[in-house]
Amino acid sequence: MRNIIMAAVISLLPVSAFADGHLQVWDMAGLGNAPSSSKMMEGTTGSIMINSSTDLWDWSEAPEGFPTLVTAECNQTVALTAQGAPFGGVGVCSMMDPDGDLAIYFGEITPKLEYVGSLTAGSGKYEPYVGQKFVGTVTGMLSTGQQMYHVVAAD
């Protein structure tokens, strides 16, 4: 069950656009697949869960010139209490679009099960968006660990 709960939180990484003349993350929806690999490190006072998944991102609100649908390889490390509740973690999603431009997103998983992060590296059309911040939240989850999530600009 811990894996399913955390799978709902760990795949929340986004993208960027213009708003009020400034570059910023655009709204997006994501489909987080069940983890393709998962490892649990059990401790005496808590656990560390390490998951990997391939997610599908709906970029239908992206600016012209950007793809409307992409996949990303996501890896997360999450700290869990002895009772299995998440209390922090990090995640990285990496993607390369059909044009060969790349983007790497880094985020922190909060105790509120939000994903707060930014675009940390990008080439081509993503380069001007480096540093833009986002917040992601899960909007629905299946018992398989698959989930839908929504990402918006944090600024």
Q: Is the pLDDT of residue 10 over 60?
A: no
pLDDT, position 25: 63
pLDDT, position 21: 42
pLDDT, position 106: 96
Domain 2-153 in CATH 2.40.160? The answer is yes
Could you tell me the residue ranges of all domains in the chain?
Answer: 2-153
pLDDT, position 16: 43
pLDDT, position 57: 92
pLDDT, position 127: 95
Q: Can you give the pTM of this predicted structure?
A: 0.81
pLDDT, position 13: 47
Per-residue pLDDT tens over the stretch 137-154: 888 888 777 888 888 888
pLDDT, position 90: 95
Per-residue pLDDT tens over the stretch 54-87: 999 998 888 889 999 999 999 999 999 999 988 9
Long-range contacts of 89-92 (CB under 8 A, 24+ apart): 89/6, 89/9, 89/10, 91/10, 91/11, 91/12, 91/13, 91/115, 91/117, 92/13
